[in-house]
Structure 1
């Protein structure tokens, strides 16, 4: 029994070592964002942070292209889960450019003042990729982001 009492602190200390150096989910872009207007469909304004377009994500494979999108709504929206009211939605997308498929991997819902009312992150093993309808706003979004990523990659060479 004494041996167990002596080993328990060591086991608990070892757990801390396992998490050392880990980071949480990808944060919403801050002041370093370069938001570019992407359009204004259906009562909202859509912006894309061109600085966030990359193959890097804290939890994802480098085979995907990642991007942050910001949707600003003209009227309050109600989150189905938290029931909170928001006007700004930040969404992180993972795009498989060769297939043209996209998965939403994170969402942050905020008030116009920037107060976060809800944040949802999808673990990598639960990402659901889907192809947007051909010749749709979503399909154009995927094409444009993939082109920007290709241009960035080419300019690094």
Structure 2
């Protein structure tokens, strides 16, 4: 019992160091973002951060192309989980360009003032890739992002 009492403070102190040096999920692009209008379907405006199109992610494989998209809605939306109201949705996508399949890996819901209502991140082992319907808005999005990534990779050489 005495040994446990001596070890407990040591164990608790070590727990504080457990996450030192680790980084959290990929942040929503800040002032360095280069938002480009992608379209305005169904009461929302869709922008893509061209600077975020890359093979780099804090936790993901470099085999995928990653991109942040911003959807700005004309009317308040209600998050099903938190029940909060938001107008701006930031979504990070992982795209497997060879198969033209995409997975949503992070979402940040915000007010027009920029206050975050909710943030959801999906661990890599739970990513669910799906192919958008042929000739759809989503299929065009995947094609365009993969083309931009290919151009970036070619210009880097």
TM-score w.r.t. structure 2 length?
0.95
Rounded to whole Å, the distance in 2 between the matches of 1:8 and 1:60 is 36
Rounded to whole Å, the distance in 2 between the matches of 1:78 and 1:7 is 48
Taking only aligned residues, the RMSD between alpha carbons, in angstroms, comes to 1.2
Unaligned runs of 5+ in 2: none
- Compute the displacement of 1:82 (Å): 1.4
The SS at the match of 1:95 is strand
Alignment match, 2:57 = 57
Rounded to whole Å, the distance in 2 between the matches of 1:13 and 1:87 is 42
- Compute the displacement of 1:155 (Å): 1.6
- Compute the displacement of 1:12 (Å): 2.3
Rounded to whole Å, the distance in 2 between the matches of 1:10 and 1:148 is 52
Rounded to whole Å, the distance in 1 between the matches of 2:25 and 2:12 is 24
TM-score w.r.t. structure 1 length?
0.95
Rounded to whole Å, the distance in 2 between the matches of 1:57 and 1:129 is 16
Please give the per-residue CA displacement for 1:133-157, whole angstroms capped at 9, x wherever unaligned. 1111101100111111111112222
Unaligned runs of 5+ in 1: none
Please give the per-residue CA displacement for 1:52-98, whole angstroms capped at 9, x wherever unaligned. 11111112111111100000111111111111111111000011111
- Compute the displacement of 1:109 (Å): 0.9
Q: Which runs of 4+ in 1 moved over 4 A?
A: none
How many residues in Structure 1 have an aligned counterpart in Structure 2? Answer: 157
The SS at the match of 1:129 is coil
